[in-house]
Structure 1
Amino acid sequence: MSLYKYSVSTLFIMVLSCTYSFAQIDFSNLTDEQIYRKHNKYNTWSVNIGYGPLVYYTDVIDYTLFPKENIKLAPSIIVSKQLGRSWGLDAQFLMGDMYGQKNNRYFEGDFMDYTMNVRFSINQLVAFGPLADKWDIYGKVGLGVTAFRSRLRRLDDDSFMQVKDVHDNLGGYPNPPGWEDDDYLVMGYNKQDPEEEIKRQTELVVPIGAGVRYRINKNFDLGAEITMRNLTADNLDVNLSGADNDSYMHVGFSVSYKIGKKNKRHARWTYKDFNLAYESQRASDPLAIRLDSLKSELDRLAGLDSIITTKSYQKFEKVVYEEGISASVFFDYDRSDVKKSEHRQLARVARALKRDKTIEMVISGYCDDRGSYEYNLKLSERRCNSVLEAMVNDFGIDRSRFRTDPKGESELLSDTQNMSSKGLHMANRRVDLLMIVNEE
């Protein structure tokens, strides 16, 4: 198998590995650092150094896809600027030697390629983040200039070919404009002296490609990229009678260094903030607005009375615990951190607990019905623990006075499957602090 076939096969295997890795993502364990928020600062610059094979597609080649000999390798340098999670700009420099042969002639030369590319992350657009926190699959398209020197020569004696050597055999095919019969078929060299270098020939080039990155750590990535670089002219091989524009393919294997502070994550390796999108949608949802209004009214009425009383429980002889509502703390979608606006509820409960040292409580956590049962059960457990830590660390209540009871989605207050299709999901995203009454 040729080096080119091996390169393409390796890239294909890496893409398959990335797709499989997506099934292993655990969104429940994302940290704040991994979630992209516009007001946060991330590292956005990186430098990429790559190296790999070149394949030319011109009129003077004796293969369809891959050459069997005279393999050319080329280095490349990319300076990248990340624009948010999904998009970035790549300024790329690529240089290499050229070669192709057909029948009794061959062309040889070298080029320097300068392009600006727009890069878009496929997994960011489809899966909202890197796959398994390690893989990034992307596409790119750009525009640039290639500056090259090229000469057409005979295979048998390496002598330089002239215009008449080609066009005399074409049945009177006219010479290209500006070319005479005794001109040598060269670009970037003197037509009358093929050994004398002159200004390089320049052509527009349009690169289109795809690649994959593997994140090693906050500083370095490994990558593989394949780009087809299409010229807007047919001069690369100095075969002036060709019908199609020339192009060349580069397969690069690379190492990237991410520039910036070592304690910050690169924006390319962050995940979508679903809570931000949810809040934006929720702000115009009349049902959510109504629920907020009802919650505020309940809070106001609850404040007019004692949060916790014990008199009503004296009527029962065998009560293990009584779910008298002490307070409810509500959470944002897929979040377990206690919002500042909810600390007032906890403060009221803490005041009652400090007033009566005998009171014990159960912290019951709930989720809405979006997500799997297992995931929601873990999320409700994290919500319970967040409230517990707030009561212990922020208000100084003894940890032994609480027990947690995560319920997941098992006891929906608002059943969005069978009741409102739009769903009062917020009512289910909560923690209830309930008083336990010991048997008298």
Structure 2
Amino acid sequence: MRALAAIVLLFVAGTQLESQVRQTDTRELTEEMRFSREKQFNSWAINVGYGAVFMYSDIKDFDVIPGSSIRFAPTVWISKQLSPSFAIDLQYINGEMYGRSEAYQGADDLYFKGEMNDITLNGVFYINQLREFPGPIKDRWNFYFKIGAGVNLFRSRLHFASNDEVVRENYFNMHSPRYLVVGYEPYDDPYTKTDPELGIMVPMGFGAMYRINSSFDMVLESTMRFSANDNWDNVLTGSTNDRYLFTGLTLSYKIGKKDKRHMRWTYRGYGFSLFRKAQSIDPVAEEIRKLEDEIANLRKPVTIKDSVIVDESLTRIYETLKVRNIFFKPGAEIEFSTEDLILIAETVVEMKQNPGKYVDLYGYVDEGDPGDHSELSRIQCEKIRDVMVNQMAANPNFIRIFARGSEGIFKHASSTSSEVAKRSNRRVDIVFRN
């Protein structure tokens, strides 16, 4: 149990350190995949499965290959997702208890046999939802850690392996004819059932979940289930309470409307912290707010450079009023000014406020510039896209590049000087398609 707890703590600590380094969220997410408190998602699921049971007790210690001691049991649980990273489930396992010794204390071969009804309430922590960019892996995989508490109602008898007779206490020099049984009549008939024994259970383990489609998931889970009892095998020796390992394969049916995602398959914004108060607003809105704050800070020290006046007919060319211009030096060289960064950031804000809308980058160079005009105009566009994506977390899938070279460049009035005309031709037009 200590080892499992240490693994979880190390993972959480690593996640927190990783989230201190800002990176660009380049995931391609549709609106129905993105989590926010204001949206409705499916949150219930029912799981049915079957798995192997490995019992560990005073007469049956840990084996890498348990051999004949393996038993199988069905399980069913109901799950409620409270957030993308956390769920609770009520799980039931019904199966046979079995474990066999080999020459116990130098004496006869013994085995215990019985039945169990294991009922636990568990907390499920989705590990991949605690990363820097929270969400399923490749939209197909979830990995989780589970811990809980519950009860086990069980019956058990201790037998001789040689003749299947029930062992009495006097076999262990206790001077009593009582049968070594739990949940059965201990004196007259060890096969007559009485009230089952009640024990406290603490399950702890890991699981992997694969999304098949909108209705079904496949789950492989392995949990060590620790007991507060030391009498599953009816032998009260040793310092470790009895326990068992359950490893099962489960089919999960996600309850709800199929036009909505289940919450455990949603994504959240950059930088989630396990110990931070849950966000009450859409992470996209938070990113927009941060960008707007950055724009406001950039505006304070602005010294506007000598601007190049571009004719108002740009509105007619692109059929939109939302055109922003970034001007380059010959050879696609540029040092982005504060004014340039403001224009780029304003475009990114519009993108985040209008998910699914495109930004088009049209690159131009002057017809007298040396070199490959198409390549130079493409490089200009890529430099702007790099700022949008890597510095301002824009979605690269909604940024299109049109390298126009010197073809179709904007024509200025005859009064415009040749130098001003050249400067105006070395530019990228940022066009937001609303």
Q: Structures share a fold, TM > 0.5?
A: yes
1:249 aligns with 2:264: no
Map Cα deviations across residues 374-411 of structure 1 (whole Å, 9 max, x no partner).
x98x94572469xxxxxxxxxxxxxxxxx788xxxxxx
Does the 8 A contact of 2:182 with 2:197 survive in 1?
Answer: yes
Matched, 1:336 2:351: yes
Specify the alignment match of 1:107 in structure 2.
Answer: 112
Verify the 8 A CA contact 2:389 2:395 in the aligned structure 1.
Answer: no
Cα distance in 2 for residues equivalent to 1:284 and 1:380: 19
Partner of 2:144: 138
In the other structure, the counterpart of 2:134 is: 128
2:156 aligned residue: 150
1:90 Cα deviation after fit: 1.1
The answer on whether the counterparts of 2:348 and 2:388 sit within 8 Å (CA) in structure 1 is no
2:45 is aligned to: 46
2:178 matched to which residue of 1? Answer: 183
Matches within 5 A, 1:36-435: 36-61=35-60, 64-102=63-101, 103=103, 104=108, 105-126=110-131, 127-166=133-172, 168=173, 181-192=176-187, 193-274=189-270, 276-277=282-283, 280=286, 288=294, 290-291=296-297, 309=312, 330-332=346-348, 336=351, 339=354, 366-367=384-385, 369=387, 379=395, 382-383=398-399, 432-433=430-431
AA at the equivalent of 1:162: R
Query: Do the aligned partners of 1:55 and 1:66 also contact (CA within 8 Å) in 2?
Result: no
After superposition, what is the alpha-carbon deviation per residue over 1:254-313, rounded to whole angstroms, capped at 9, x for unaligned? 111000001111010011134944754785899627348769xx9xxxxxxx99647xxx
Q: AA paired with 2:398?
A: R
Distance 1:284 1:213, change over 3 A: closer
Contact 1:52 1:74 in 2 (8 A): yes
Which string of whole-angstrom CA distances, capped at 9 and with x for unpartnered residues, describes residues 42-88 of structure 1? 00000111101100111122662332114310110011001111000
Secondary structure of 1:161 counterpart: coil
Residue 37 (structure 2) pairs with residue 35 (structure 1)? no
- Structure 1 residue 29: Cα displacement: 2.5
**TM-superposed deviation, 1:141:** 0.3
Residues 279 and 40 of structure 1, relative CA distance in 2, 3 Å threshold: closer
234-243 or 47-56, which deviates more: 234-243
Q: Deviations over 1:85-114 (max 9, x none)?
A: 100001100111011111221110010000
For 2:139, the aligned partner's letter is: D
Q: Give the distance between the partners of 2:45 and 2:270, measured in 1 at CA.
A: 27
TM-score normalised over the length of structure 2: 0.63
- Judged with a 3 Å threshold, the aligned counterparts in structure 2 of structure 1 residues 49 and 216 are, in CA distance, closer, same or farther, namely same
In the alignment, the residues of structure 1 paired with residue 258 and residue 247 of structure 2 have an alpha-carbon distance, to the nearest angstrom, of: 30
Q: Cα distance 1:272–1:286, how it changes in 2: closer, same or farther (>3 A)?
A: closer
Q: State, as a whole percentage, how many aligned pairs show the same letter.
A: 32
CA distance in 1, matches of 2:176, 2:127: 52
**Aligned residue pair count:** 319
Structure 1 unaligned regions, length at least 5: 1-25, 169-174, 299-305, 311-321, 343-363, 386-402, 406-429, 435-440
2:126/2:143 contact within 8 Å kept: yes
Q: Does the Cα contact within 8 Å between 1:34 and 1:271 map onto a contact in 2?
A: yes
Conserved 8 A contact 1:234-1:240? yes
Compute the TM-score of the two structures, normalised by the length of structure 1: 0.62
Counterpart-to-counterpart distance in 2, 1:30 and 1:129: 11
**One-letter identity of the residue aligned with 1:65:** V
The one-letter amino acid of 2:146's match is K
Whether the aligned pair in 2 keeps the contact of 1:148 and 1:201 (CA below 8 Å) is: yes
1:117 counterpart SS class: strand
Amino acid at match of 1:114: I
Counterpart amino acid of residue 214 in structure 2 = K
CA 1:92/1:150 → structure 2, altered by over 3 Å: closer, same or farther?
same
- Deviation (angstroms), 1:224: 0.5
Within 1, Cα distance between the matches of 2:227 and 2:61?
20
Cα-Cα RMSD? 4.2
What's the CA shift for 1:206? Answer: 0.4
Q: Say whether the 8 Å CA contact 2:55–2:69 is kept in structure 1.
A: no
The answer as to whether partners of 1:223 and 1:254 remain within 8 angstroms in 2 is yes
Change (3 A) 1:182 1:30: same
In 2 relative to 1, CA 66–371 (structure 1 residues): closer, same or farther, beyond 3 Å? farther
TM-aligned CA distance change 1:292 to 1:38, over 3 Å = farther
2:209 aligned partner, one-letter code: R
Unaligned 5+ segments in structure 2 are: 1-24, 272-281, 314-324, 328-338, 358-380, 405-427
CA contact (8 A) 2:26 2:395 kept: no
CA pair 205-379 structure 1, distance change in 2 beyond 3 A: closer
Residue deviations 1:352-388 (CA, integer Å, cap 9, x gap): xxxxxxxxxxxx7944648569x98x94572469xxx
C-alpha distance after superposition, 1:157-192 (max 9, x if no partner): 2111111112x1xxxxxx6xxxx7121111111211
Most deviating of 136-145 and 283-292: 283-292
